[in-house]
Amino acid sequence: MAKQTEGLEIVKVDRSNVERYVELIKALADFEALDPPDEEGKARLIRDVTSDPPMFHAYLALVDGVPAGYLAFYFTYSTFLARPTLFLEDIFILEQYRKKGIGRELFRFCVREAERRECGRMEWTALDWNTPAHRFYEGMGAKRLDWYLFRLTADDFKDALDR
């Protein structure tokens, strides 16, 4: 079992801490070798996570008041189960805070939220090269699905509509 992190607090992202959240998204982008949100994207993130109701939910993991990581999720709906699905969009822990049980606590936070909302399931994706994440999720009892993820970006919408 992972060791517990002393001083860990999980707090909702709101107007008072949203800039700290955006900084962690940049750290995740660096980790995944992706471009972080540009200034317009940052403005949309801030708007969407602090709106009432929020477009998605985000929480910071603070260790002694210092941001160590975050999670973001939203709800979809399963027509087969006739229940909501909690979709875990991001879970990220800064490198210096890994292996301290923070990721486990954030994941368990999501599981409790899925239970509270009477979800039929919880789903997420992990990059194919991120084997530490695969081991973590499988260690938490998750099962890997043999599904393909498809995507159209906003730049692709017009082409798709013209077909």
> CA 162 to CA 157: how far, in whole Å?
9
Provide the whole-model pTM.
Answer: 0.91
- pLDDT category of residue 6 using cuts at 50, 70 and 90: confident
- 98 located within any domain: yes
Catalytic position from the list 70, 74, 137, 148: 137
Parent domain of 17: 8-162
- 1 located within any domain: no
- 70 located within any domain: yes
The two tokens of residue 16 are: 């008072």
- Are 161 and 155 spatial neighbours (Cβ–Cβ below 8 Å)? no
- 31 located within any domain: yes
- The CATH number of the domain where 63 resides is what? 3.40.630.30
Tell me, yes or no, if 137 is annotated catalytic. yes
- Are 24 and 70 spatial neighbours (Cβ–Cβ below 8 Å)? yes
Say how many domains are in the chain.
1
Which amino acid would we find at residue 142?
Answer: A
The two tokens of residue 25 are: 């998204």
**pLDDT tens digit sequence for 109-135:** 999 999 999 999 999 999 899 999 999
- 123 located within any domain: yes
